[in-house]
């Protein structure tokens, strides 16, 4: 589902009516980053982006309710978009597995985008490698089932956010390596030198063989405002420093 995330990162706004929107969801995407890197903000931005496409509801799974929602953005203020995002809060791995296994019994239209935030919290429940592999396979199978429901030529996309550690243990590295076999597309959020009063991250999107690697600067202001600009080398100015690439452009505002 790299295309949805690419639109969020490229334009800083949701797609509008009449814009060219790819019908196929593309390979499942793994959104990776350390604590406080803005994974949840980007995931919710992707939910708003998808909700504005008018192709169906979005299913957002997370262990607990979001602490804050986007602010001062047209997409976030659109009640129709928010109504299309269905939140569910499985509190444990067992409940997450039960929800996924019973997805075919859920009433209403099938979602065309499935989002999972905080997968590391479910993996932290002493899952063995084969159990983590089963969870990953079940996520893909659930998305495939929804794709069958929404009809040919459309499909259900899948984006999963996973927190990484700078100095993870061998178990974390093994789980990440295992997940990367299932999620061909990946987006890494890597901390860079901070600017004046804000946190900066380099977003590197690998679309899983469906296009070139792309990069952006994602900067978070003290009030939670998120600004997205092209990484300097992609903006045509490789000499630009990191801090200057994180300002002066249209921005999204999210609480993180």
**213, 206 contact by CB (below 8 A):** yes
| Residue 252 pLDDT > 80 | no
CA distance 147 to 129: 27
Helices (H), the chain: 2-11, 39-51, 74-77, 79-83, 93-101, 119-123, 129-150, 170-182
**Prediction pTM value:** 0.82
Domains of the chain: 2-233+243-253 (3.40.50.300)
Looking at residue 98, its pLDDT comes to: 95
pLDDT above 50 (res 112): yes
Q: What is the pLDDT of residues 180-202, one digit of tens each?
A: 999 999 999 998 876 566 789 99
Task: Check whether 150 has a pLDDT greater than 70.
Answer: yes
Phi, psi angles (nearest 5°) of residue 29:
-120, 140
DSSP code, position 140:
H
């Amino acid at each position: 589902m790299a295309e949805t995330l690419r639109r969020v990162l490229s334009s800083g706004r949701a797609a509008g009516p009449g814009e060219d929107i790819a019908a196929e969801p593309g390979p499942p995407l793994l959104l990776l980053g350390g604590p406080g890197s803005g994974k949840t903000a980007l995931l919710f931005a992707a939910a708003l982006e998808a909700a504005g496409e008018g192709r169906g509801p979005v299913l957002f799974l997370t262990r607990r309710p979001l602490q804050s929602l986007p602010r001062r953005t047209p997409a976030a203020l659109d009640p129709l978009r928010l109504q299309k995002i269905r939140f569910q809060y499985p509190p444990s791995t067992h409940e997450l597995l039960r929800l996924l296994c019973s997805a075919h019994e859920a009433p209403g239209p099938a979602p065309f985008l499935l989002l999972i935030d905080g997968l590391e919290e479910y993996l932290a429940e002493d899952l063995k490698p084969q159990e983590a592999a089963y969870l990953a396979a079940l996520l893909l199978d659930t998305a495939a089932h929804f794709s069958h429901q929404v009809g040919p030529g459309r499909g259900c996309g899948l984006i999963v956010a996973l927190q990484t550690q700078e100095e993870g243990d061998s178990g974390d590295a093994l789980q990440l390596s295992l997940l990367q076999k299932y999620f061909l597309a990946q987006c890494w959020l890597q901390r860079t030198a901070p600017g004046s009063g804000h946190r900066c991250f380099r977003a590197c999107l690998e679309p899983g063989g469906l296009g070139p690697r792309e990069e952006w600067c994602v900067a978070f202001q003290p009030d939670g405002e998120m600004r997205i600009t092209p990484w300097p080398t992609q903006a045509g100015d490789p000499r630009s420093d990191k801090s200057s690439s994180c300002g002066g452009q249209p921005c999204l505002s999210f609480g993180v």
